[in-house]
Amino acid sequence: MTNKITDIFGCMVFNDDVMRERLPKEVYKSLTRTIATGKHIDPTIADVVANAMKDWAVEKGATHYTHWFQPLTGVTAEKHDAFISPVGTCKVVMEFSGKELIRGESDASSFPSGGLRATFEARGYTAWDPASYAFVKDGTLYIPTAFCSYTGEALDAKTPLLRSMDAINTQALRILRLFGDSTSNHVDVNVGGEQEYFIIDKAMYDRRKDLVYAGRTLFGAPAPKGQELEDHYFGPLKTRIAAFMSDLDEALWRMGINSKTKHNEAAPAQHELAPIYANANIAVDQNLLIMEYMKKIAEKHRLVCLLHEKPYAGVNGSGKHNNWSLTAGGKNLLDPGKTPAENRQFLLILAAVLKAVDDYQELLRVSVAHAGNDHRLGANEAPPAIISIFVGEELNTIIDSIVDGTAYKGAKKAMMDLGIPTIPVFRKDTTDRNRTSPLAFTGNKFEFRMPGSSQNIAFPNTVLNTAVAESFRQFADRIEQAEDREKEIARVIRETFAAHRRILFDGNGYSDEWEREAARRGLRNLKTSVDAYFTFMEPKNVALFSSFGVMNEVEMRSREEIFFENYSKIINIEALTMIVMASRDYIPAVEGYIAYIADAAAKKRAVCEDVSCAVERDIIRRLSELNGQAYSAVQRLRDVETQAASIADVKDRATCYCNRVLPVMEELRRAVDEMETLTASANWPVPTYGDMMFRV
């Protein structure tokens, strides 16, 4: 670390301190009022803000600006324009107008639109989001924006997120008013996104076509050692990794990102970064920056950052734990306080979350559905594909007492004494943690553990916000009309807990028993992304988003098509990559090794006719069988992939890739992976799992 953290933190961000310093007082007040309340910006201040933003950015070395947006590709997009404007024929000046700040134009037909835009209907707009700070990166002023079509439909991830935040703010304020809070004027959604990732040496990465094209290893036999000894988790950082993490921290701090925690994760070469929570809109933008910087900083160290959910089979995959909470006036609304059984406001909000998750469990599953995440969810890793909530022993006991109408006997606050005089005695938490739970209450927030590591977390938070907003709306509609609101609040809490207790589960989410129990409870087990996608347009989901204006049916229909289309494209790329690798790398390499062994056997016999060649015969026989199986699987994979790709209907095509192409891919992999275990290292054409995970 070459700079003092407090001096460099946020130095590349046009944040509140910079705005206060550079904007006229009234302009600053108007802009911050817009940011704080979510109301429309006063267009008359745009030129002043744009000029101040440009002057500041130029001082930071910027020559260009870009409207930075989140198309439905899962990553960000940007088009760079210089600040220059010609003066005469030989001079230029640096200019940036309010019009250029507020609105940009992009080719809407070149991004996924799910049929909303045809190729000849190209116009789309980017619109400045003043609630997310602009920043300078690599000589360009980045302006966070929303992205919509010429006809006004949202073509991005940010727009529905902002709409959902407005929806939950409106409905949550109604809840607060029921409890006498007349001063809070805004309820914020806060998010902290923990980011897991793998690191691999760049030279090894370049030799793996599957990592280059698909982001995950499509072949690979397990290394002799994986994560069995649990020695990598929280272990000492390797020198090269520590240097990468140090540079990453400094880069993120300059961007005003509160990179707080870093450590080794469970699998070899796997790591995690956790920031401090922020407003959901900013947290989403910052997580996208975190992923971008992870890749860029890794390159400087001759490393590659792998953000795929399952780059290596047989070891833990990578997720993105989404810590979600609500605050008003600086107070966390999910803080149960010292006496949660008596905290009616907290209990009502807790009931709203339980109801939201139970009512819209399929929609939450869709929000994390992705071809990459299918390899992680339900694969004996946290979490399973079945949606449930963990609240812990204390809250479970409180809920049971409320539903059963019995008195709650609070658990005594226990102290932890390790019996060592020099180690302080400390207060023990009232409940343990459950790492197998998809959605766990962790003291004052809900940790949504299902999002995949490569995912933009805007959509999962959009679903959470909107579903909880609907619970709040139903509660407020009912309680506001009651003659005795106090009694009605108690009834709503009790009835909601009773109706939605099925979503609560504190046990082992990995177990077969839970899968059977979940089925008895009527919980959905949508094992694949394709299964989940088919539920997206269910009437209740359309009604939910439409009623709050988060997405209309047309916008939802477009996303449904993109879901299925994207899934097919991913499996298509993986299948074609497997065909190329098997045909050009593995099968020829094994044939060469078989020839080498046969030649060795012949030379042995030439020297000594009665020498045994049993080893050579066994190796040749088994490798020949496996290579034949691999060759046959390649032919079948070519055929079934061609058939799948030719299917016109996007749903039928995705279903075919899921149900017919993937099984053949697995068959091919099994044959190749076994051949790897029988082929000499010098003859194997690519780095192995042991090479990639342990030689960083």
**pLDDT at position 563, please?**
97
- The 10s digit of each residue's pLDDT in 504-526 is 999 888 888 999 999 999 999 99
For tokens 């059984």, the residue is: 341
Nearest to 251 by CA among 282, 283, 296: 296
- The 10s digit of each residue's pLDDT in 661-671 is 999 999 999 99
Count the neighbouring beta carbons within 10 Å of the beta carbon of residue 443: 15
**pLDDT at position 380, please?**
55
- The 10s digit of each residue's pLDDT in 24-59 is 999 999 999 888 877 778 888 999 999 999 999 999
Residue 647 DSSP SS3:
coil
**pLDDT at position 230, please?**
74
**pLDDT at position 350, please?**
98
Percent of the chain at pLDDT exceeding 70: 94
- The 10s digit of each residue's pLDDT in 533-563 is 999 999 999 999 999 999 999 999 999 999 9
* Whole-angstrom distance, CA of residue 579 vs CA of residue 637: 7
pLDDT below 50 — which residues of the chain? none
CB 183 within 8 A of CB 260: no
**pLDDT at position 182, please?**
93
- The 10s digit of each residue's pLDDT in 400-410 is 999 998 988 77
**pLDDT at position 105, please?**
78
Ramachandran category for residue 39: left, alpha or beta (phi over 0 → left; psi -120 to 50 → alpha): beta
Nearest to 128 by CA among 50, 189, 74: 50
Mean model confidence pLDDT for the chain: 92
**pLDDT at position 287, please?**
98
**pLDDT at position 109, please?**
65
Torsion sign (Cα): 510, 516, 518, 519? positive
- The 10s digit of each residue's pLDDT in 74-92 is 899 999 999 988 777 777 6
**pLDDT at position 414, please?**
66
CB 537 within 8 A of CB 651: no
E strand intervals along 179-233: 187-201
